[in-house]
Amino acid sequence: MKKSILNLVTASAALTLMASSLQIQAKEGDMFAGVMINHGMYENDGADELALSAFTLRYNYEFLDNQMFETRFSQSFADHTSNEVDYKLNSLFGVYYSYNYELTKSIAVYGLVGLSQIEVQKTVYDIAMEDDEVLPSYGAGFTFKLGKDANLNIEGVMYGDDDVKYAAAGLGLELFF
């Protein structure tokens, strides 16, 4: 728990430093929807073997320049096996605050913090167990501008770091409207 609090404080401090920038990436009032494909990481699992196992749907509203509220829904489309345990993300729903910092006209970095409701199923020797919790979440990523109304993004997010441990590295597409 102490590690989670320290990580949340670190992420909040990084967002505060980014918020001091006056650079602008998008206009206030912009909205976008996006979809991502993720490599899910459970418990002590690592990123040593790429296993695309989940998708994420995103909806974002920019309420101030570079500052957004975002909702996400994610679910597994394949089980993930690590150390003879099968994992499946049954559902993830969350609300987040994010801040973008423009590095160039076509590249930005962003951080996000929020809360996620996570339901993960673990199966060991044909015995299934489910964990369901609401936990603090944080992450960071890069956005690459593809055109006037489209971005590509790459990110890493820690959605749960308590009894439920789930993180995701993802690649996605954002469309503005």
Tens digits of residue pLDDT in 3-22: 444 444 444 444 443 433 33
For the chain, how many structural domains are there in total? 1
- What's the CA gap between 104 and 36, in Å, rounded? 23
Higher pLDDT, 53 or 173: 173
Span 69-116, pLDDT tens digits: 999 999 999 887 777 888 889 999 999 999 999 999 999 999 999 999
pTM equals: 0.77
pLDDT at 100: 93
φ, ψ of residue 142 in degrees (nearest 5): -120, 145
Task: Spell 41-74 as b/e; 16+ CB within 10 A means b.
Answer: bbeebeeeeebebbbbebebebeebbebebebeb
Residue range 165-172: average pLDDT? 91
- Per the structure, the complete domain to which residue 50 belongs is given by 2-176
Q: What is the CATH number of the domain that holds 88?
A: 2.40.160.20
E-strand stretches of 80-164: 80-82, 85-102, 107-124, 127-147, 150-161
Q: Tokens representing 157?
A: 């997010």
Q: 10 Å Cβ neighbour count for 122?
A: 16
* Residues linked to residue 140 through DSSP beta bridges, in sequence order: 111, 156
pLDDT of 5 reads 43
pLDDT for the residue 13:
41
Instruction: Give 22-79 pLDDT, tens digit per residue.
Output: 333 456 678 999 999 998 888 766 555 677 889 999 999 999 989 999 999 999 998 8
Parallel/antiparallel/unpaired status of strands 52-64 and 31-42: antiparallel
- pLDDT value of residue 47: 54
Write out pLDDT tens, residues 110-165.
999 999 999 989 888 889 888 888 999 999 999 999 988 899 999 999 988 777 78
